[in-house]
Amino acid sequence: MANIFQTDPTAVGDVATLLALASLRLGNVAQRFDSSDFIAGRGDTVYLTVSGALAAHGRALDDVTNAIISERLSELREPVKLSTHAYSSVVLSDAELSLDIKDFGKQVLDPQATAVAAKIERALADVIDGIDVAPDVTFMRSNPVSFFTQGRAALRAKGIDVAGEPLVALVGSALYDILLDSGALDADKLGGDASALTKGAVGSLRGFEVVEATSGDPGDVVFMTKRGSLYLANRAPEVPTDVTGNKSTHEGFELRAIQDYDATVTAQRSVLSTFVGAGILPAYKATRTEDVAIQGEADFVAGSVTLSPIPGGATVKANISNV
């Protein structure tokens, strides 16, 4: 029987999107900017608004003489940019379509979706590779979990609210194996289930969701916040007029699947693609000075607040070679 699944553009797009999502690891922990951000007519760059910081002041309960101190909001705008058109294009002959392809999803869409996902993962891995290693986070093989305590402290020292933010540790394969051998990732210690090891994220160590990252230095670990750190920008291109295809979206990830037939060479082409961008979101530290005395008193000095950029954002990178 002929394979009719390939003629349904909605089914093809939906299945391809789910297959690509299943292959993402770094992409699953990155903050996403999607088609709701990248609206037609606004170009390949959107701007993230970073809230400003304000100072509060104090005055006497019955003060009706001194004017209150008012400030202006001073928000920052940071660019988030799409930079790459990630795609996979496959040509299928009439013979392949008629005689070889029994399961279009498994034989065609799965390897295509995996390829696009790998391209996205590489873009995110390149961002991580560019982070400098922190020299003051040291590794003790006899107590590998202390690495995570130090990572938490390093984020806190940068001004990151580790108590109020969900945390993620992207763990290279060498460190991951050490943690496995130490028993630190045993399901009973993490409060998880034994099957979690096959899912990439296995539980929490010192407040960090532990995710195995196989695309970078095997000795690296990147401690970061789940929001406001590593980001993935993604929007699928439009389906051209008179071309069979569909844009599908799931969990903020969008992929375009199109198919066309070239009668001059009697071949069908399957194309999966999406626009992507990756980076580290900027983070800022608020430094405050409090009021001296209260408003109305002779020695009153109003407090203030300044925002300063945090180098490297809400990330700390360490390596087990630093002992």
Exposed (0-12), middle (13-18) or buried (19+): which is 183, by Cβ within 10 Å?
exposed
> Are 145 and 206 a contacting pair, CB within 8 Å?
yes
200: which 2 tokens? Answer: 């990439």
Q: How many CB atoms lie within 10 A of CB 199?
A: 12
CA angle 296, 298, 299 (to 5 degrees): 110
Per-residue pLDDT of the chain (323 residues; tens, 9 = 90+): 445 445 688 888 999 999 999 999 999 999 999 888 888 888 888 888 888 899 999 999 999 999 999 988 888 888 899 999 999 999 999 998 888 888 888 999 999 999 999 999 999 999 999 999 999 999 999 999 999 999 999 999 999 989 988 999 999 999 999 999 988 887 665 554 445 444 445 568 899 999 988 888 899 999 999 888 999 999 999 999 888 899 999 998 999 999 988 899 999 899 999 999 999 999 998 899 999 999 888 899 999 998 889 999 999 999 999 88
Nearest to 208 by CA among 179, 251, 174: 179
Backbone torsions φ then ψ of 273, nearest 5 degrees: -160, 160
Instruction: Write b or e for each residue in 216-236: b if 16 or more Cβ atoms lie within 10 A of its Cβ, otherwise e.
Output: bbebbbbbbbbebbbbbbbbb
Quick one: what percent of the chain has pLDDT higher than 70?
93
Parallel/antiparallel/unpaired status of strands 84-93 and 284-289: unpaired
